Structure 1
Protein backbone atom coordinates (compact mmCIF):
# COMPACT_ATOMS: atom_id res chain seq x y z
CA UNK A 1 0.00 0.00 0.00
CA UNK A 2 2.04 2.98 -1.19
CA UNK A 3 -0.30 5.60 0.26
CA UNK A 4 0.90 4.63 3.76
CA UNK A 5 4.48 5.53 2.94
CA UNK A 6 5.00 8.92 4.67
CA UNK A 7 8.36 9.53 3.05
CA UNK A 8 7.51 12.13 0.35
CA UNK A 9 4.28 13.50 1.84
CA UNK A 10 5.66 14.26 5.28
CA UNK A 11 8.47 16.32 3.77
CA UNK A 12 6.00 18.19 1.55
CA UNK A 13 3.72 18.92 4.51
CA UNK A 14 6.56 20.16 6.72
CA UNK A 15 7.98 22.29 3.91
CA UNK A 16 4.63 23.87 3.11
CA UNK A 17 3.91 24.68 6.77
CA UNK A 18 7.35 26.16 7.28
CA UNK A 19 6.93 28.24 4.15
CA UNK A 20 3.59 29.48 5.39
CA UNK A 21 4.71 30.30 8.92
CA UNK A 22 8.09 31.80 8.07
CA UNK A 23 7.45 33.64 4.81
CA UNK A 24 3.80 34.11 3.90
CA UNK A 25 2.23 34.76 7.30
CA UNK A 26 4.48 37.70 8.34
CA UNK A 27 3.91 39.35 4.96
CA UNK A 28 0.15 39.07 5.35
CA UNK A 29 0.20 40.32 8.94
CA UNK A 30 2.30 43.37 8.03
CA UNK A 31 -0.52 44.97 6.03
CA UNK A 32 -2.16 47.93 7.70
CA UNK A 33 -5.87 47.70 8.21
CA UNK A 34 -7.73 50.04 5.84
CA UNK A 35 -10.37 50.74 8.46
CA UNK A 36 -8.69 50.99 11.87
CA UNK A 37 -10.96 51.25 14.91
CA UNK A 38 -11.51 54.78 16.12
CA UNK A 39 -10.86 56.00 19.63
CA UNK A 40 -14.00 58.13 19.84
CA UNK A 41 -16.09 58.00 22.94
CA UNK A 42 -19.47 56.37 22.45
CA UNK A 43 -22.31 58.84 22.85
CA UNK A 44 -25.71 57.81 24.04
CA UNK A 45 -28.36 58.09 21.34
CA UNK A 46 -31.05 60.71 21.63
CA UNK A 47 -34.07 58.87 22.98
CA UNK A 48 -36.73 61.55 23.00
CA UNK A 49 -40.17 60.02 22.47
CA UNK A 50 -42.03 60.69 19.27
CA UNK A 51 -45.29 62.54 19.70
CA UNK A 52 -47.73 60.62 17.57
CA UNK A 53 -50.59 62.86 16.36
CA UNK A 54 -53.22 60.09 16.48
CA UNK A 55 -52.82 59.15 20.13
Structure 2
Protein backbone atom coordinates (compact mmCIF):
# COMPACT_ATOMS: atom_id res chain seq x y z
CA UNK A 1 0.00 0.00 0.00
CA UNK A 2 1.80 3.15 -1.13
CA UNK A 3 -0.04 5.54 1.21
CA UNK A 4 1.72 3.92 4.16
CA UNK A 5 5.11 4.96 2.85
CA UNK A 6 5.98 8.16 4.79
CA UNK A 7 8.93 9.03 2.62
CA UNK A 8 7.35 11.51 0.16
CA UNK A 9 4.65 12.85 2.48
CA UNK A 10 6.75 13.55 5.52
CA UNK A 11 8.94 16.02 3.66
CA UNK A 12 5.87 17.77 2.24
CA UNK A 13 4.27 18.01 5.68
CA UNK A 14 7.49 19.25 7.26
CA UNK A 15 7.97 21.86 4.54
CA UNK A 16 4.41 23.14 4.83
CA UNK A 17 4.63 23.44 8.63
CA UNK A 18 7.95 25.22 8.45
CA UNK A 19 6.52 27.60 5.86
CA UNK A 20 3.57 28.32 8.09
CA UNK A 21 5.67 28.70 11.23
CA UNK A 22 8.41 30.88 9.80
CA UNK A 23 6.71 32.95 7.11
CA UNK A 24 2.93 33.08 7.38
CA UNK A 25 2.44 33.12 11.15
CA UNK A 26 4.62 36.20 11.88
CA UNK A 27 2.83 38.10 9.12
CA UNK A 28 -0.56 37.21 10.58
CA UNK A 29 0.54 38.01 14.12
CA UNK A 30 1.63 41.51 13.16
CA UNK A 31 -1.91 42.62 12.32
CA UNK A 32 -3.65 44.62 15.02
CA UNK A 33 -7.39 44.35 15.44
CA UNK A 34 -9.36 47.43 14.43
CA UNK A 35 -12.00 47.04 17.14
CA UNK A 36 -10.52 46.72 20.57
CA UNK A 37 -12.66 44.89 23.12
CA UNK A 38 -14.49 47.07 25.59
CA UNK A 39 -15.02 46.34 29.25
CA UNK A 40 -18.77 46.24 29.63
CA UNK A 41 -20.33 45.32 32.91
CA UNK A 42 -22.08 42.02 32.56
CA UNK A 43 -25.80 42.26 33.20
CA UNK A 44 -27.43 39.41 35.04
CA UNK A 45 -31.06 38.70 34.44
CA UNK A 46 -33.25 37.30 37.16
CA UNK A 47 -34.85 34.08 36.05
CA UNK A 48 -38.00 32.66 37.52
CA UNK A 49 -38.96 28.99 37.40
CA UNK A 50 -41.43 28.00 34.74
CA UNK A 51 -44.97 27.73 36.15
CA UNK A 52 -45.90 24.24 35.01
CA UNK A 53 -49.67 23.64 35.39
CA UNK A 54 -49.36 20.01 36.56
CA UNK A 55 -47.05 20.58 39.52
- TM-score interval w.r.t. the shorter chain? 0.5 to 0.7
The TM-score normalised by the length of structure 1 is 0.63
**Structure 1 unaligned regions, length at least 5:** 43-55
Q: Tell me the TM-score normalised to structure 2 length.
A: 0.63
Structure 1 position 36, deviation (Å): 1.8
**What is the Cα-based RMSD across aligned positions, in Å?**
2.0
Moved over 3 A (4+): none
Provide the aligned length of Structure 1 versus Structure 2: 42
